Amino acid sequence: MALQTDELLLHATDQTRIAAAIEAAEQRAAAAFHVHVEATSRYPEARATDLLRLARGREARPALLLYLLAHERRCYIVTDQQLRPLAETRVWRDVTNRLILDLLHGRLGDGTADAVARFSHIVAGHFPAIQTRSAAR
């Protein structure tokens, strides 16, 4: 569930941009990045936690979920236990605040793709992806 949204909430180019950002993020860091966009939610914190649990399944690597409410222009960022110390840092809060500003200004696609890229750099500093070398020529 890298990106899950209703077709009417995100333009196709925004979906492509976010999907590319998620793919690049997962190549950069040894963590799973998930983005879920909904119109609204009655209990957003509980919904975000449940979505992360479902997306993660039995996967052992760290996971992060950006849960975006398009109509309310709000976001909830949920991490698993391994990433929780990073979520308390100033740089993490700066990325979160920038995402909130982008949502408030109507830049859902650009802001989300940018946030995924920025979060991946933070996570990669602590959980770098293992690069496999191609066969020698």
Q: Is the pTM of this model over 0.75?
A: yes
pLDDT band at 135 (very low <50, low <70, confident <90, very high): very low
Q: State the Cα–Cα distance between residues 130 and 132, nearest whole angstrom.
A: 6
Q: CA end-to-end span of the chain, whole Å?
A: 36
For the stretch 91-134, pLDDT in tens is 999 999 999 999 999 999 999 999 999 999 999 999 998 875 55
Residue 21 backbone dihedrals phi, psi, to 5 degrees: -65, -40
For the stretch 51-97, pLDDT in tens is 999 988 878 889 999 999 999 999 999 999 999 999 999 999 999 99
Q: Is the pLDDT of residue 136 over 60?
A: no
Whether the Cβ atoms of residue 61 and residue 36 lie closer than 8 Å to each other: no
- Candidates 89, 87, 62, 91; CA nearest to 77 is 87
Q: Where are the alpha helices (DSSP H) in the chain?
A: 12-28, 44-56, 90-104, 108-124
DSSP state of 59: -
pLDDT of residue 59: 80
Q: Where are the domains of the chain?
A: 3-124
For the stretch 5-62, pLDDT in tens is 776 788 889 999 999 999 999 999 999 999 999 999 999 999 999 999 998 887 888 9
Q: State the Cα–Cα distance between residues 74 and 85, nearest whole angstrom.
A: 22
- Candidates 95, 98, 103; CA nearest to 64 is 95
Whether the Cβ atoms of residue 86 and residue 92 lie closer than 8 Å to each other: yes
pLDDT of residue 1: 53
One-letter amino acid of 23: E
CATH number of 3-124: 3.10.310.50
Classify residue 8 as exposed, middle or buried by CB count within 10 Å of its CB (0-12, 13-18, 19+): exposed
